[in-house]
Amino acid sequence: MRQAGRYLPEYRALRERVDFLTLCKTPELAAEATLQPIRRFGLDAAIIFSDIMIPLEAIGARITFDPVPRVAEPLRTRAQIDALRARPMAEVVPFVGEVVTRVRRELGGQVPLIGFCGAPFTLAAYLVEGKGGEGFGEVKRMMFAEPDTLTRLLELLADAMAEYLTLQIAAGAQAVQIFDSWAGILSPEDYRRFALPAARRVVQRTQRGDEPVIYFAPATGHVLEEQLATQADVIGLCWRTPLDQARPRTEGRVALQGNLDPHALLAPPEVVRRRALAVLDSAGDHPGHIMNLGHGILPDTPIESVEALVETVAARVRSEA
């Protein structure tokens, strides 16, 4: 989940100097933002500082942030989608590889580094709507009225994201996470027909060695079993599906990640501790649990809550060792 961001004073200080896009595109600064939470908290992994919208420039999309992402010319027609040409990631977003290399060097093996991308359906939802989170009428209209047009866009995005993850892994990313933030708006049938095959195509076409792939699609408990077919090694859960229910439903075939509600961090530290322990308890003593939030950290999260969370998990791990 998101680690850096506006809840950190040192991040806000960086953002006073540069806008969000400049921050993402300047390797030295993006590396600094990546390392900020690692220096402050005893986290077990770092996630590269970027955004799921950044690589969309490779297919010609123009993106701005205020702070939510906006797409200059939403993709609404078959003709627009047919005209898309994917340019090589190494030419369009070379800075992402540089951030990975830089962070790996600075981490010096202290903790592993996670790369990431958006899943095709989630990116398509942004590209067709032109913005996110304010309804999905347009992408659903395309899905029902012109399913082949949507499928074409999804395939193009899947190939672009496989290339993007391959670039990050080649540069040194030790795991990659695919964010399918909007897949939860789909019925089981439409998830199986559109979001799932596109996400699987990313997993299958990413060139990797033993680097695991994490697939995270919040609010998709109604299609948890289906997510095994993405062929991801880890399924991330939001807080809606308890870990002890997810374990039998995924038949022990994947590791699970999650799933403390990030809003819990808005409560006093003792509540954070209690709720974090409850998540660890529901994970039980099965191998293959990555403790995490069930979604991105909120901008008004107190630092003390993150400290309480990390300390609680570390103490439990020590007591079990």
In the set 11, 15, 164, 200, the catalytic residue is 15
CB 161 within 8 A of CB 120: yes
Span of 43-51, 95-103, 188-196, 250-258 interacting with ligand CP3 by CB under 6 A: 43-51
Residue 7 engages ligand CP3 in binding (rule: CB under 6 A): no
Residue 2 engages ligand CP3 in binding (rule: CB under 6 A): yes
- Asked about 15 being catalytic, the answer comes back as yes
CA distances from 90 to 31, 34, 58, 87 (A): 18, 21, 9, 9
- Asked about 275 being catalytic, the answer comes back as no
Three-class DSSP labels, 213-279:
EEEECCCCHHHHHHHHHHCCCEEECCCCCCHHHHHHHCCCCCEEEEEECHHHHHCCHHHHHHHHHHH
Q: How far is CA 57 from the centre of its chain?
A: 18
Which residues, including other chains, have CB under 8 Å from residue 91's CB and lie 6 or more apart? Answer: none
CB 236 within 8 A of CB 177: yes
Amino acid at 187: S
- Asked about 2 being catalytic, the answer comes back as yes
Residue 119 engages ligand CP3 in binding (rule: CB under 6 A): no
Residue 116 engages ligand CP3 in binding (rule: CB under 6 A): yes
- Asked about 6 being catalytic, the answer comes back as yes
Span of 63-71, 93-101, 183-191, 245-253 interacting with ligand CP3 by CB under 6 A: 63-71
In the set 51, 76, 104, 191, the catalytic residue is 51
Instruction: Tell which one of 30, 31, 47, 308 touches ligand CP3 (CB under 6 A).
Output: 47
CA neighbours closer than 13 Å in the CB half-sphere of residue 195: 32
* Sheet strand arrangement including 213-216: 46-47, 113-118, 175-179, 213-216, 234-236, 255-260, 289-293
- Name the nearest CA neighbour of 316 among 285, 280, 275: 280
Instruction: Tell which one of 35, 52, 178, 195 touches ligand CP3 (CB under 6 A).
Output: 52
Residue 27 engages ligand CP3 in binding (rule: CB under 6 A): no
Binding residues among 267-306 for ligand CP3 as defined by CB under 6 A:
296, 299
Q: How far is the CB of 210 from ligand CP3 (least distance, A)?
A: 22
Task: Give the residue with the Cβ less far from ligand CP3, 68 or 315.
Answer: 68
Instruction: Tell which one of 13, 18, 68, 315 touches ligand CP3 (CB under 6 A).
Output: 68
Q: How far is the CB of 219 from ligand CP3 (least distance, A)?
A: 10
- Asked about 39 being catalytic, the answer comes back as no
CB 123 within 8 A of CB 161: yes
Task: Give the residue with the Cβ less far from ligand CP3, 106 or 146.
Answer: 106
Q: Return d(Cα 184, Cα 179) in angstroms, integer.
A: 12
Residue 6 engages ligand CP3 in binding (rule: CB under 6 A): yes
Backbone angles phi, psi at 116, to 5 degrees: -160, 165
**Which residues are catalytic, by number?**
2, 6, 15, 51, 126
Could you list the residues that contact ligand CP3 (CB under 6 A)? Answer: 2-6, 15, 20, 47, 49-53, 65, 67-69, 116, 132, 179, 181, 296, 299
